[in-house]
Structure 1
Amino acid sequence: MAVITPRPAATLILCRDRPGGPAPSTDDPGGIEVLLVQRTHQAVFMPGVFVFPGGAVDPGDDAHDLHLHVSGLAAAEANGLLEVEGGGLGYLTAAVRECFEEAGILLGRDLRRTQPRANGCAYLSHESHALAAQCQALREQMLAGAVTMPELCKRLSICLPLDQIAYLSRWITPPGPPRRFDTRFFVAKAPVDQRASHDGHETIDHLWIGPGDAIERNQRGDLSLGLPTRASLEALAGFATTDELMNHLHRARSGVRTDLGPQRSRSRPATGRQGQQIIDPSHPAYAEVEKLDPGRQGIAQCEILPGCMTMMSPTIGRITAPNPGIMTGPGTNSYIIGRGRDRAVIDPGPAIDAHLEAILAAVGSQGGQLRWILVTHTHRDHSPGAARLKAATGATVLGMEAPADDYQDPSFTPDATLAHGERIDGDDFSLKAIHTPGHASNHICYLHEQDGVLFSGDHIMQGSTVVVNPPDGDMAAYMASLRDLKRENALYIAPGHGFLMDQPNRVIDRLIAHRQKREDKVITALTSAAGIDEQTLVAKVYDDVPSAVHPLAQRSMLAHLYKLESEARVIRGADGWRLLKPW
């Protein structure tokens, strides 16, 4: 599968002082607010998510005729600020353009005014209804492609004061999503007299909110945020005023690196395909980078590279299969256990030649011999490689037989099944089998008892919840298995897809809370009607995700309904699902 090259992009975080000063919030001592816009549910990239205004850098964003309308920052300075060989100004002007198109706010200095207005703002003002209407008309023409940014500057008699914009951070979309971006995040003080408005096409809602308040709502599940957005909010949460924030960030212009604001001590350098970058605690690789590179040398990878061995510990290595996708993320993880003669593989993954060859090479290094092939479950991205590894090595295959449904790997034939709590002991490791039905009836997690690492297969995934698909998937069993895993007191979770995760019990608590919230929405929807069919119900229960995802979401919702039915709380009749009694 071809690797998608990330497209240059820019995002602008608009900040303003909170009306009335700092809020009496438990989590947000700061007194600033930021502007978030909600992407349409039909968007290919991050549908329905609240983000900062931004988008791809267009060729015209770095055109010479636009350079004539910028001030405060030369091209060479912009290149140096962003550490690029060329095109630095294009990132900044793209941020300004995208903010105007998506949020209706234009960072343009009014050239017709020789002095700032009484409120101290030199930006274009919407105090005049005529000027506000002109700006809106030009915005619509820009969205239609009828007006360019240089033409906009001429008509409004403005320049773009790029020295008023501060550079915050860089984020690169990992492999897997249908679109990837190499995005620079910028921060600017919002114009006083301009009102935000979503465009109704790419953005369908907007709000001003304190960074801490947004994080709290995200934790409750009330506000959907992408990881870069969440990380940026955490970096901004500690500032009392926009002036304090901007002064802090602008110090980067004099050589003081401040990429992630007041929480810089929590940021870490890491290495990706595009070189070294700074990652925040909300980055998916953060826990892994923190564990593998405690000295902050930037040597740990923040992107998963298929076919490359990553050592999680002296006795745990990971090789990811080249099968990225919506359901598999960056690909299926295969784990190689042991550094002595005895070696084990957890989840051999798909039967892809290059992947299996990489596993065999890793196993055979330094005189190792593959003795056990362990499978967490028999979905087709996890177990098909087992037969070929066994044929090549004679290793014992351990797992549970595949249930009879179309999602399973019918070729999987285990030599034995480990009982719940049973162990296998190698020269320098022991693995404990933990039966965890729910996502799949034959699902097993494995605990590396020396390192405290739980290999969770698809029972716990990074960055998303798993699909629980009846009849083999069982929501009641899934929830019970999650609670059982908390008793293992693991130190890390090594998932079937994605990076190592720390604080396992906290991860599990969030999954349980998320599933309970979905169940509560099912009950709320059924309370409002005498009987509801599943198609109507899924639109109510999953009203916060794109409709394109509803067929898949409907399977997990059905698992919730079967759980509630087993508890005598709902019943399915001729007119659909209904509550048996009020709850």
Structure 2
Amino acid sequence: MPARDDHPSSSTPASTQQGEPQPQLEELLDTHHDPAYGEAVQVAPLVQRVTATNPSPFTFAGTGTNIVGGRRVAVIDPRPDAAGHTEALLRTLEGRTVTHICITHTHSDHSPASRALAEATGAPVLGFGPHPAADAGRHGAAAKAVQEEPGDWDFVPDGVLGHGDVVAGDGWTLECLYTPGHISNHLCFALPEEQALFTGDHVMGWSSTIVPPPDGNLGDYLRSLELLIARGDRDGVYWPTHGPPITAPNRFARALLAHRHRRTDQILACLGDGPATIPAMVARMYTTTPKVLHPAAALSVLAHLIHLSEEGTVTWDPAADMPAATYALA
């Protein structure tokens, strides 16, 4: 749900490491997407997409469920059964065999209909694991005060997938990439036959991804971006669960990584002028963002602050509730 480990180091953006100019994320975002709701659209020879009627500021045009294969298929992210989405999927799947139901992660706009689809088709549900327990850890009240994205607390996979695992069918292969950050149980699925990567909420073409504490972790997210960047030209297209495809995926991932580092620089600049609260930093940093999205922006700033505190760069009073806490340079 946007709102909006085997990973290399992410201390420096990959484009900087390679001596290349950093692309600007804002120039690459695609906010024009008009899906055919409730209908199967053939987006690639091996991929159909059915988009649910759940558009919002956080799901963009809605949740896109991907169907991979021909007569024997895998279904990725069936989402909740809102506005007849499961029925639309079953109509599309009529006459075919569902062999696997694969879940990128357990936010409520991705996984809850998996059990109903499994009961209707007999296919096993596969994912990294149950929804992670809400544990604010050492960040205490500041993290607890942030409303966590709705989770699918009832999700229990029939089979557990991890980094490097492979789900295979007739003429298709899904390779699992463990990509924590947005949430600790997030997976991406590579489809080498199409040079495609299903990115869930890890990378989206219309917006940056929120990393919501307490379970979201910016350090993990940056390492997961580096993992995708290191794949180079193995992926010719990204298919996020929300929004349009990303057709220059490696360039986009590098831009997203650079964007995160610029946000860190902005936060350090704010704190360089003196101690500040999260609302004050959001007002200064997100001048062109609609105020309805400022709570999402506050989550993003908090994720950066937690990351900076773990590095020893920023301090704050853990006894104060977020957003009332005041943050300062260490």
TM-score between the two structures when normalised by the length of structure 2: 0.81
- Partner residue of 1:347? 77
Which one of 290, 293, 303 corresponds to residue 549 of structure 1? 293
User: Does 2:100 align with 1:372?
Assistant: yes
- Partner residue of 2:144? none
User: Does 2:123 align with 1:401?
Assistant: no
Task: Give the Å deviation of 1:447.
Answer: 0.5
Which one of 20, 39, 54 corresponds to residue 308 of structure 1? 39
Which one of 328, 334, 344 corresponds to residue 65 of structure 2? 334
CA contact (8 A) 2:199 2:241 kept: yes
CA contact (8 A) 1:539 1:547 kept: no
In structure 2, do the counterparts of structure 1 residues 283 and 326 end up closer, same or farther at CA, with 3 Å as the change threshold? closer
Which consecutive unaligned segments of at least 5 residues does structure 1 have? 1-218, 228-281, 286-302
Deviations 1:214-259 (A, max 9, x none): xxxxx647xx7898xxxxxxxxxxxxxxxxxxxxxxxxxxxxxxxx
Deviations 1:311-337 (A, max 9, x none): 122211000011111111111000011
Cα RMSD, aligned residues only? 2.0
The residue type paired with residue 169 of structure 2 is: G
* Distance in 1 separating the partners of 2:55 and 2:65: 14
Which one of 275, 279, 303 corresponds to residue 535 of structure 1? 279
For the residue of structure 1 that corresponds to 2:35, the secondary structure is coil
Which one of 517, 531, 536 corresponds to residue 262 of structure 2? 517
- The residue correspondences of 1:120-269 to structure 2 (distance < 5 A) are 220=24
Q: Please tell me whether Structure 1 or Structure 2 has the larger radius of gyration of its CA atoms.
A: 1
| Structure of greater relative contact order (alpha carbons < 8 Å, 6+ residues apart) | 2
- Partner residue of 2:110? 382
Query: What is the total number of aligned residue pairs between the two structures?
Result: 285
Which one of 216, 219, 232 corresponds to residue 473 of structure 1? 216
Deviations 1:414-465 (A, max 9, x none): 0111120100110110000111001111110000111111001111112111
For the residue of structure 1 that corresponds to 2:306, the secondary structure is helix
Task: Give the Å deviation of 1:363.
Answer: 2.2
The residue type paired with residue 579 of structure 1 is: L
In structure 2, do the counterparts of structure 1 residues 226 and 447 end up closer, same or farther at CA, with 3 Å as the change threshold? closer
The residue type paired with residue 539 of structure 1 is: A
- Partner residue of 2:139? none
- Partner residue of 2:247? 502
The residue type paired with residue 132 of structure 2 is: P
* Distance in 1 separating the partners of 2:260 and 2:253: 11
For the residue of structure 2 that corresponds to 1:564, the secondary structure is helix
The residue type paired with residue 471 of structure 1 is: P
For the residue of structure 2 that corresponds to 1:388, the secondary structure is helix
Task: Give the Å deviation of 1:364.
Answer: 2.7
For the residue of structure 1 that corresponds to 2:170, the secondary structure is coil
Which consecutive unaligned segments of at least 5 residues does structure 2 have? 1-22, 135-147
In structure 2, do the counterparts of structure 1 residues 395 and 353 end up closer, same or farther at CA, with 3 Å as the change threshold? farther
The residue type paired with residue 427 of structure 1 is: D
For the residue of structure 1 that corresponds to 2:198, the secondary structure is strand
Runs of 4+ in 1 over 6 A off after TM superposition: 224-227
Task: Give the Å deviation of 1:284.
Answer: 4.2
* Distance in 1 separating the partners of 2:295 and 2:236: 35
The residue type paired with residue 308 of structure 1 is: E
State percent identity of aligned pairs. Answer: 37
In structure 2, do the counterparts of structure 1 residues 546 and 362 end up closer, same or farther at CA, with 3 Å as the change threshold? closer
* Distance in 2 separating the partners of 1:402 and 1:578: 33
User: Does 2:171 align with 1:442?
Assistant: no
Q: Which has the larger displacement, 553-562 or 308-317?
A: 308-317
- Partner residue of 1:568? 312
In structure 2, do the counterparts of structure 1 residues 451 and 226 end up closer, same or farther at CA, with 3 Å as the change threshold? closer
The residue type paired with residue 459 of structure 1 is: H
For the residue of structure 1 that corresponds to 2:276, the secondary structure is coil
* Distance in 1 separating the partners of 2:55 and 2:200: 16
- Partner residue of 2:53? 322
CA contact (8 A) 2:52 2:83 kept: no
The residue type paired with residue 484 of structure 1 is: L
Task: Give the Å deviation of 1:349.
Answer: 1.1
* Distance in 1 separating the partners of 2:40 and 2:258: 34
Deviations 1:37-68 (A, max 9, x none): xxxxxxxxxxxxxxxxxxxxxxxxxxxxxxxx
The residue type paired with residue 261 of structure 2 is: Q
Deviations 1:20-50 (A, max 9, x none): xxxxxxxxxxxxxxxxxxxxxxxxxxxxxxx
For the residue of structure 2 that corresponds to 1:450, the secondary structure is helix
In structure 2, do the counterparts of structure 1 residues 423 and 572 end up closer, same or farther at CA, with 3 Å as the change threshold? same
* Distance in 2 separating the partners of 1:314 and 1:465: 28
- Partner residue of 1:18? none
Task: Give the Å deviation of 1:374.
Answer: 0.5
